[in-house]
């Protein structure tokens, strides 16, 4: 996990949500980039990412996906969460 001076933070999807929340509180970032390279494109992943977005919003932050596969982005769109989990 890294924080930058521009109000963004980067982390990998393997980081527990509690640690992401701690990072968001500590940095005050308004955008969090979540690297999802290599994660499965399934409903479990989409649910976890949606929960992550909800937790981030509680801290005044938005999650943006990085390195998302076309399959994952298609599934996010199919489920109707394209606006919630932008790639």
Q: Is the pLDDT of residue 69 over 90?
A: yes
| CB-based contact 10:1 (threshold 8 Å) | yes
Q: Among residues 84, 62, 39, which one has the least CA distance to residue 15?
A: 39
The per-residue pLDDT for range 36-58, each reduced to its tens digit, is 988 899 998 899 899 889 989 98
Q: What is the pLDDT of residues 15-37, one digit of tens each?
A: 677 787 888 888 888 898 888 98
Q: Residues near 84 by Cβ (< 8 Å), separated by ≥ 6?
A: 50, 53
Superfamily for 2-79? STAS domain (3.30.750.24)
């Amino acid at each position: 996990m890294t924080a930058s001076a521009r109000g963004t933070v980067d982390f990998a999807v393997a980081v527990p949500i509690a640690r992401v929340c701690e990072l968001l509180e500590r940095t005050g970032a308004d955008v969090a980039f979540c690297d999802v390279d290599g994660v499965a494109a399934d409903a479990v992943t989409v649910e976890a990412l949606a929960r992550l977005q909800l937790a981030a919003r509680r801290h005044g932050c938005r999650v943006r996906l990085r390195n998302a596969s076309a399959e994952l982005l298609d599934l996010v769109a199919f489920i109707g969460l394209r606006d919630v989990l932008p790639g």
